[in-house]
Structure 1
Amino acid sequence: MAQSTAPNRQNGQNRSKKFSTTLPDVQTLSALTKEPFIDTHTHLHYTLERLPDTFGVKTFQILKEHYCPPNLEACVNVLCDPLSFSSDEIFPGTYMDWKVMAETPFMYLAAGVHPHNAKDYNEYIEAQMCKILQHPKTVALGEIGLDYHYDNSPKDVQRQVLIRQIEKAKELQKPLVIHTREAEEDTWDILTKHVPKDWKIHVHCFTDSPDFAKKLLDYFPNLYIGITGVVTYGSAKNTQEIVRSVAPLNRILLETDAPYMTPAKLNRNKRTNEKITVSHSGMIPFVAQKIAEITRKEIDVIMRAARENTRNMYGI
């Protein structure tokens, strides 16, 4: 998740009218590749929340059928706001309800308290989180970690909550989804001290240094680097260098982090009223296209490698 999304909501749909956006047509998304793919990290409940009512997208299935290419197989929808853990009670029967997400055929779940929300962590929230983690469609604990770019939770609290959730993941035998931003030393220290070397780890939306990526990849043989639409941005030199010379293809996962990180190419030369400001899982091919460009490989090679890596990481 790119930023804090712990809002004050009266219901699960009260923010959608505040956003103005358009979406690419399915033909545009389908033109790049026919290879099947999985979005390994997304927040599609926030995508639906941000889409204006004029799109008529009231369910995840409608979003997939009307706005995503047919080769989208599945996604891992990430619940990292503690409010989401009780969404079956707060927003029952809506797209904000985690049980509705779990019942969506193409959707798998991950659940964990984001570092922005670490200050809110308590035994009740942990119990609610574990309820979701015990569901058969929940494939990982996360995203959890450290974020020193923002100051939404004290650093010492972030560290304590990260360690506590790592211990819970080991107890429940769940892979980890890690968020780390401008916290390389502390992230390294905690992971190497508390996570077994052979544990499955997805370092989501990696934007830190190439040297840090190499350290992680060398130490943890089952660690994968998540690449989002950030790789398409001119400013994303770290991420592009990681793709170019640090992370081999068999250690990369494709993700959108929707509704954030819209691939840059989709908005090139567009006027303000034509901008795509909300992303979704169907935009993965544009992430793969940029990786293909950087590595000088065919896009289908990137897609197939990422699909196999997803099987290895999540078993889907």
Structure 2
Amino acid sequence: MSENTEHSKNSNIQRATQRQSGDDRPKRPQTSLPDVQTLSSLTLEPYVDTHTHLHYVIDRLPEKFGVDSYQDLKDRYCPPNMEACINVLCDPQSFNTDQVFPGTYSDWKVMADTGFIYLTAGVHPHNSKDYNDFVEDRMVEILQHPKTVALGEIGLDYHYDFSPRDVQRRIFVKQIELAKAMAKPIVIHTREAESDTWEILIKHIPQDWKIHVHCFTDSPQFAKRLLNHFSNLYIGITGVVTFGSARNTQEVVRSVVPLNRILLETDAPYMVPAKLNKNKRTAEKVNVCHSGMIPFVAQRISELMGKGINEVMQAARENARNMYGV
């Protein structure tokens, strides 16, 4: 995540609850969306968005877009070379949506039944304080579904400390052990917690385990240590790489991570690629990201690496296949 972006997981679930119950309906943010022609203009190479929250995307889109299903979002607003996405469930409340919102876009079983969507499930460090046996049981139910390809995002976030740090560490380890018991790849969230993240990873995860360090914003030195130690670890790059302030992420792409260890992700609805808002007036700005914007992430990576965008897309597609089997 960027310095100015935060996963407001609980508030998003609460807004969805309010909207679908019809009580105290909140005002959705105004936004525009790029047309498919714009998103298709950079490359036609097939791709997978390896980390997104499409349920939050639909939650945030104003009614004027008329999007109430994942297939509709893909067909109308994403380029045709988008093959699949990994939709991440990381708030404990999202594990119950098949009961609370059955048959709606918020229902995780509806997500799993959508052809191009695969799932991960894990308790985000912000919500570590809410972890209990009931939450774990519901999470395991999702993890046992054949469309669920990993456990996560899990980890440490010392920027906000929404959960106490000792609780974050304990729940991080607990979920790592669960992932190993279930033979699931692991999706890591780490922010301003390099030392503790490193100590937990090297102590509890085998060196050849499949790991996706999502939305990397930490130091290039940390990225290098991770890549050197874990042979199947991938670095996830989001639209944050297009931000002028993202010097760490840009340096990691420029000089640390090899092309065969990089994953493309949006972390949608967050991290709108900067070029999509260049020279736009406030009323025209794109405030909601979605999986169709991956080509703009790849474009910036290609510039930093000095490689063609198609080469980046092809390598990232193969990396997604190796990491997730998708």
Per the alignment, residue 229 of structure 1 pairs with 239
Q: State the alpha-carbon separation in 1 of the partners of residues 148 and 68 from structure 2.
A: 23
How big is each residue's C-alpha offset from its partner over 1:72-124, in whole Å with a ceiling of 9 and x where there is no partner? 00000000000100000111111110000000010000000000000000000
Per the alignment, residue 56 of structure 1 pairs with 66
Name the aligned partner's letter for residue 150 of structure 2.
Answer: A
Q: State the alpha-carbon separation in 1 of the partners of residues 171 and 154 from structure 2.
A: 9
Per the alignment, residue 169 of structure 1 pairs with 179
Q: State the alpha-carbon separation in 2 of the partners of residues 72 and 213 from structure 1.
A: 28
- Equivalent residues in 2 for 1:89-100, closer than 5 Å: 89-100=99-110
Name the aligned partner's letter for residue 144 of structure 1.
Answer: I
How big is each residue's C-alpha offset from its partner over 1:208-248, in whole Å with a ceiling of 9 and x where there is no partner? 00000000000000000000000000000000000000000
Report how many aligned residue pairs link the two structures.
316
Q: State the alpha-carbon separation in 1 of the partners of residues 203 and 123 from structure 2.
A: 20
User: What is the CA-CA distance between 1:19 and the residue it aligns to?
Assistant: 1.0
Q: Secondary structure in 2 aligned to 1:216?
A: helix
The answer to whether 1:311 aligns with 2:321 is yes
How big is each residue's C-alpha offset from its partner over 1:157-191, in whole Å with a ceiling of 9 and x where there is no partner? 00000000000000100000000000000000000
Match of 2:188 among 178, 194, 208: 178
Whether contact under 8 Å (1:12, 1:95) holds in the other structure is no
CA RMSD, 1 decimal: 1.1
Per the alignment, residue 300 of structure 1 pairs with 310
Whether contact under 8 Å (1:16, 1:53) holds in the other structure is no
- Equivalent residues in 2 for 1:162-311, closer than 5 Å: 162-311=172-321
Per the alignment, residue 4 of structure 1 pairs with 8
Q: Secondary structure in 2 aligned to 1:69?
A: coil
The 3 A distance-change label for structure 1 pair 234 and 264 is same
User: What is the CA-CA distance between 1:253 and the residue it aligns to?
Assistant: 0.1
Q: State the alpha-carbon separation in 2 of the partners of residues 103 and 312 from structure 1.
A: 23
Whether contact under 8 Å (2:236, 2:264) holds in the other structure is yes
Q: State the alpha-carbon separation in 2 of the partners of residues 105 and 80 from structure 1.
A: 21
Q: Secondary structure in 2 aligned to 1:253?
A: strand
Q: State the alpha-carbon separation in 2 of the partners of residues 295 and 219 from structure 1.
A: 23
User: What is the CA-CA distance between 1:16 and the residue it aligns to?
Assistant: 6.9
Q: Quick one: percent identity of the two aligned structures?
A: 70
Whether contact under 8 Å (1:23, 1:276) holds in the other structure is yes
Name structure 1 gaps, 5 residues minimum.
Answer: none
Name structure 2 gaps, 5 residues minimum.
Answer: none
Name the aligned partner's letter for residue 53 of structure 1.
Answer: E
Whether contact under 8 Å (2:236, 2:263) holds in the other structure is yes
Q: Secondary structure in 2 aligned to 1:140?
A: strand
User: What is the CA-CA distance between 1:12 and the residue it aligns to?
Assistant: 5.8
The 3 A distance-change label for structure 1 pair 26 and 127 is same
Q: Secondary structure in 2 aligned to 1:191?
A: helix
Name the aligned partner's letter for residue 46 of structure 1.
Answer: Y
How big is each residue's C-alpha offset from its partner over 1:37-68, in whole Å with a ceiling of 9 and x where there is no partner? 00000000000000000100010000000000
Whether contact under 8 Å (1:11, 1:91) holds in the other structure is no
Give TM-score, length-normalised by structure 2: 0.95
Q: State the alpha-carbon separation in 2 of the partners of residues 86 and 314 from structure 1.
A: 24
Name the aligned partner's letter for residue 267 of structure 1.
Answer: N
